[in-house]
Chain A
């Protein structure tokens, strides 16, 4: 099978969906420019024309409400934000209008909208260019929230999101765009609301979100070297969360570590822990643990970023603690290979 990067997989999906369905439109700040949102929208404007793929003024508020009006008149808008932080300018439309429109009208008016936004760490992106905000969106009834971590899932979940009759927030970590994977050429859907077990194990269950999936798989490989067998589950969809495989796994391992790419306080990780606490009470061998961002705004300088963000090492150390193992020597391990791609702002 062909290998594609996550960015190429997303781009291929957009081409296929716009070809398949003339009601799909794609827009956002910088969408048709030469950089094309990490390359994911390059060529769409040329192929489908300025009525179906267009740039916008710096007006997140109207352009989000615009999606609702366009959806009510039969289009399937995909609105893209190069930083999820900019979505805060659109929260009135997302939370007060889009999420509840179908409900308020007694189910008469589905609103098929996809909001794509880039999350996460880059190169000194600081406090306003790096947020995840998972729980901002998962908290709201009526919004589906998707965060794929592999190129194959990126392509399939984006197709599913575009074809879904509900608003879907589609969150992609910027570093994922360079990850490569086998990706089928034909169009396909990866179902929304279905988790995936990436690695089976009997000692510890790790539930990881977005970029932390990559880190968790890395950590699992390191832990396997010292005989610790970790099960890694990627929920893929954050709302609605597919709890069944998580609960089944924790019943098997008796231990749960949640590696969330977000702040822990009042976050998605607390929600997963609460559900597992109810479903697995009595089966847990020890308390549920979580790793996530430090409880601070995101700092800019790399030395502080390294303390702020969790990674495979954080996961390894927490796993050792949970399994009462002495800390292993990690001095030769390369934990930041993706970060080194950055030689300037991207």
Chain B
């Protein structure tokens, strides 16, 4: 069976599986208190990150949110440094000062992530102006959730990017949840109609599990930005399997049902291509084992580290 799948799909599945298994390892490790910060898991949403990042090069820069492990990996961040960062060790990508919520790996174009909703959207707009002023043919991508759309700075950012025709791709990862509050209880407007009001092209992908469609759409939109086009706006519907923050499930807490998740499981690529997944498990496991071993062996930062890099 496996040889009928093309190489591209295999790469996408491998990435998706890698992210899922890393986060499952985080869940496994969490009771040990070795992970030194809150974790917002992307389990269920990984195909969005993997598909979006497929056509990106290290020159394309991305700003994301506190639910950022998937983007760090999909954008090319190194696994051992990720795991050491989650462990709060010196070998972490930011030496333990970032933890899970502020991941950044500028060398691969992963510029930053924020724990304050919507706050990295303006950073992408500024970077897009810099790209334009400097004549760099690069795309700037900002990832945010449906909750960010309720913040004023989202509106301010769409307006400015459209006004100055800046090369930025706005991506709304719409899981229809802000912490524990469903979208219908928060928004009196239609997200897409609202975005169109800024004279920005909009695209919507209903199935956030469709890796190929997400990757193809991303490629097309990024190419438009790199060739001098103005801002683009993309919404991808997806679903968060785990609780807002932490390693657990929360289907018994009353705000959503397990049946809701099961609809998404039906198209989850890791179940759909279970045969491929089975073949990849051993490689994925050994990659993660190496990352965990690196984190375990890395020393804890000390007082001198506390005081460096303030300026």
Q: Residues of A at under 8 Å CB distance from B?
A: 23, 25, 51-52, 56-57, 59, 61-75, 77, 92-93, 96-97, 101-109, 141-142, 144, 165-166
Q: Is B127's CB within 8 Å of the partner chain A?
A: yes
Q: Is A62 in contact with B94, judged by CB distance below 8 angstroms?
A: no
Please state if B310 and A52 are interface contacts (CB–CB under 8 Å): no
Closest to B306 in A: A103
Asked if A56 and B160 make an inter-chain contact with CB atoms under 8 angstroms apart, the answer reads yes
Q: Given A74-B134, A104-B104, A108-B104, is A69 in contact with B122 using a C-beta cutoff of 8 Å?
A: yes
Residue of B nearest to A70 (CB): B126
Q: What A residues does B231 contact at CB under 8 A?
A: none
Q: Is the Cβ of B119 less than 8 Å from the Cβ of A93? A: yes
Given contacts A69-B123, A108-B104, 7 further A-B contacts (CB under 8 A): A62-B156, A73-B61, A73-B127, A93-B122, A97-B114, A106-B92, A142-B310
- Let me know if B95 and A69 touch, CB within 8 A: no
Task: Give Cα A72 to B113, complex, Å.
Answer: 13
CA distance A72 to B276 in the complex (A): 40
Q: Is the CB of A92 within 8 A of B119?
A: yes
Residues of B bordering A, CB below 8 Å: 61, 63, 92-95, 97-98, 102, 104, 106, 111-112, 114, 116, 119-134, 136, 140, 152-153, 156-157, 159-160, 163, 308-311
Q: Contacts A57-B160, A73-B127, A74-B130 given: A62-B122 contact, CB under 8 Å?
A: yes
Residues of the B chain whose Cβ atoms lie less than 8 Å from the Cβ of A65: 119-123, 125-126, 153
Nearest CB of chain B from residue A115's CB, rounded to whole Å: 14
- CB atoms of A107 and B123 under 8 A apart: no
Residues of B within 8 A of A73 (CB): 61, 126-127, 130-131, 134, 136
A109 touching B125 by the CB < 8 A rule?
Answer: no
Pair B126/A69 contact, Cβ less than 8 Å: yes
Q: 10 A–B contact pairs at CB < 8 A?
A: A61-B153, A66-B126, A69-B122, A69-B126, A77-B126, A97-B114, A102-B309, A106-B92, A107-B95, A109-B112
A104 and B160: CB pair below 8 A?
no
Number of A-B contacts (CB under 8 A): 143
**CB of A127, distance to nearest CB on chain B (Å):** 23
Q: How far is the CB of B304 from chain A (nearest CB, A)?
A: 13
A66 close to B112 (CB less than 8 A): no
Q: Which residues of A contact B126 (CB under 8 A)?
A: 65-73, 75, 77
How far, in whole Å, are A126 and B32 apart by their CA atoms in the complex? 56
Task: Tell me whether A105 and B104 are in contact (CB under 8 A).
Answer: yes
Asked whether A66 and B125 contact (CB < 8 A) given A105-B98, A107-B308, the answer is yes
Query: Cβ of A108 and Cβ of B160 under 8 Å apart?
Result: no
**Contact in complex: A96, B97 (CB < 8 Å):** no
Does the CB pair A105–B153 fall under 8 Å? no
Residue contact A57 to B163, C-beta cutoff 8 Å: yes
Contacts of A70 in B (CB 8 A): 126-127, 129-130
Closest Cβ of chain A: how far from B100's Cβ, in Å?
12
Question: What separation, in Å, do the CA atoms of A12 and B215 have in the docked complex?
Answer: 50
The docked-state distance in angstroms from the alpha carbon of A59 to that of B155 is: 9
The distance from the CB of A143 to the nearest CB of chain B, in whole angstroms, is: 9
The answer on a CB contact under 8 Å between A62 and B127 is: no
* Distance from A78 Cβ to chain B, minimum over Cβ atoms (Å): 13
Please name all residues of chain B whose beta carbon is closer than 8 Å to the beta carbon of A68 when the two chains form the complex.
122-123, 126
Give the CA-CA distance A289 to B114 in the complex, in Å. 43
Contact between chains at B122 and A105 (CB < 8 Å):
no
A97 to B122, CA, bound (A): 11
B156 and A109 form a contact (CB under 8 A): no
Give the docked Cα–Cα distance between A104 and B96 (Å): 9
Chain B hits for A106, CB < 8 A: 92-95, 97-98, 309
CA of A64 to CA of B157, assembled, Å: 11
A51-B133, A105-B112 as given contacts; A72 in contact with B127, CB under 8 Å: yes
Chain B contacts for A61, CB-based, 8 A: 122, 152-153, 156
Asked if A105 and B127 make an inter-chain contact with CB atoms under 8 angstroms apart, the answer reads no
**Chain B: CB-nearest residue to A97:** B119
Are the C-beta atoms of B156 and A72 separated by less than 8 Å?
A: no
Q: How far is the CA of A96 from the CA of B160 in the complex (A)?
A: 22
B61 x A62 contact (CB < 8 A): no
Residues of A within 8 A of B152 (CB): 61
Contact status B114-A109, CB under 8 Å: no
Across-interface contacts of B136 in A (CB, < 8 A): 73
Q: A63 to B281: give the CA distance in the assembly, Å.
A: 46
Contact flag A92-B116 (CB < 8 Å), given A69-B63, A69-B122, A75-B133: yes
* In the complex, residue of chain A having the shortest beta-carbon distance to the beta carbon of B95: A106
Report the minimal beta-carbon distance from B75 to chain A, rounded to whole angstroms: 14
Of the residues B129, B131, B134, contact of A66 by C-beta under 8 Å: B129
In the complex, what residues of A have CB within 8 A of residue B95's CB? Answer: 106-107
Residues of B within 8 A of A107 (CB): 95, 308-309
Q: How far is the CA of A102 from the CA of B308 in the complex (A)?
A: 10
User: Closest approach, in angstroms, between the C-beta of A110 and any C-beta of chain B?
Assistant: 9
Residues on the A chain within 8 Å of B128, using CB: 69
